[in-house]
């Protein structure tokens, strides 16, 4: 199992619980787990759900949602 991918997803979940209105670098947070998850395809469905939630929260607080944030 790829702990690196899981750790990065956990970090994103924690940051999303804190709320994107507190982000200093929203782009970094959006992209943080992407490469690790690409190397662990079993996590892609979960990551897609997280991205869907992140997109709605980013839009809610006025952070841009860029195409490169998607899988």
Q: 10-48 pLDDT, tens per residue?
A: 999 999 999 999 999 999 999 999 999 998 989 999 999
Parent domain of 18:
3-69
Structure tokens at 7: 């750790």
Report the domain count for the chain.
1
Query: What is the spatial distance between Cα 32 and Cα 26, in angstroms, rounded to a whole number?
Result: 10
The answer to whether 69 and 55 are in contact (CB under 8 A) is: yes
Q: Half-sphere exposure of residue 67, counting CA atoms within 13 Å on the CB side?
A: 0
pLDDT band of residue 8 (cuts 50, 70, 90) is very high
Structure confidence at residue 25 (pLDDT): 94
């Amino acid at each position: 199992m790829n702990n690196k991918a899981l750790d990065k997803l956990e970090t994103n979940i924690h940051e999303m619980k804190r709320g994107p209105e507190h982000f200093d670098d929203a782009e970094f947070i959006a992209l943080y787990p992407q490469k690790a998850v690409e190397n662990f395809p079993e996590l892609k469905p979960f990551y897609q759900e997280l991205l869907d939630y992140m997109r709605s929260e980013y839009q809610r607080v006025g952070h841009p949602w860029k195409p490169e944030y998607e899988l």
